[in-house]
Homo-oligomer: A and B are copies of this chain.
């Protein structure tokens, strides 16, 4: 899993059956200080009600999630309330 910020959403009408009804959010991965690390725009299926601006926990593999709501290789599996580093 990794930390990311939700920066947008993807609109796609022509898509794979498994993705229909899912919310597709554009995310950028973060370091532990919540700084965006520039790279390609990743897209994750939301499973926890995340919205734009949220800091989220993203999971790559979804093979062990049995609920059919997560039908993709990248899913938002948690909304981050706080990151407590060792210095704090």
Contacts and interface: CB of A to CB of B under 8 A. Distances in A.
B31 A65 contact: no
How many copies the complex holds: the figure is 5
Contacts of A71: 64-65
30 contacts: A1-B44, A1-B73, A2-B40, A3-B26, A3-B41, A6-B86, A8-B84, A9-B83, A10-B82, A10-B83, A11-B83, A14-B48, A15-B48, A15-B79, A16-B65, A16-B77, A17-B67, A19-B57, A30-B40, A31-B38, A37-B40, A41-B83, A53-B86, A60-B73, A61-B62, A61-B63, A61-B73, A62-B64, A63-B63, A65-B71
Q: Please provide the 6 A-B residue pairs with the shortest distance between their CB atoms, ordered closest to farther.
A: A15-B78, A32-B41, A16-B77, A12-B78, A8-B85, A61-B73
